[in-house]
Amino acid sequence: MLRERIAAVARPRHTVHAHCDIPCGIYDPHGAEIGARTVARMVELINQNLGDDPNQRNQFIRCVAVKEQHAEIVKHEVRVIWGDYFKPEHVEKYPQLHDLVWRIMKQAGKCRQTVDAQAAAELQALVKQFADIFWETKGGRPQA
């Protein structure tokens, strides 16, 4: 009772915003990681040599199309976080960031051009590095 009365009197009348316009919470590199995993999985399926009947050929072509799309999704997701979320202070702390993003762009292109499992694994590894930096700036990766 008394506590409430005191709290009612002491409660601030104003708010001062120590704010950040960018709603940092909306950014998440998960999409890029899923994209890279999808690319790797498509490469795996394509290399299984599905066979020649129309259904299998259809399946094959779909895998190629999905690989194309998801390589682009990786590039898009990484580019948004890189361009919109990261601030100069982050780059100062992680000077490899720009080069890493550039290598992801290149590697995603390579994954579109080839069905190289090694290239797909490399893309996943680069995206993971990118995601790790992101989560370090946020104070840790949330527990899945």
Positions that interact with another protein (CB under 8 A): 10-22, 24, 87, 89-90, 137
139: left (phi over 0), alpha (psi -120 to 50) or beta: left
From CA 133, how far away is CA 61, in angstroms rounded? 35
CB of 125 to another protein, least distance (A): 26
Indicate the residue among 27 and 104 with the shorter CB distance to another protein. Answer: 27
Taking residue 39's Cβ as centre, other Cβ atoms within 10 Å add up to: 29
- Is 32 or 94 the residue whose CB approaches another protein more closely? 94
Number of CB atoms found within 10 A of residue 144's CB: 4
Nearer to another protein, 5 or 17 (CB): 17
Nearest to 75 by CA among 125, 8, 29: 29
- Output the smallest distance, CB 121 to another protein, in A: 32
Task: In angstroms, give the least distance from the CB of 102 to another protein.
Answer: 22
Q: How far is the CB of 120 from another protein (least distance, A)?
A: 32
Q: Which is nearer to another protein, 39 or 86 (CB)?
A: 86
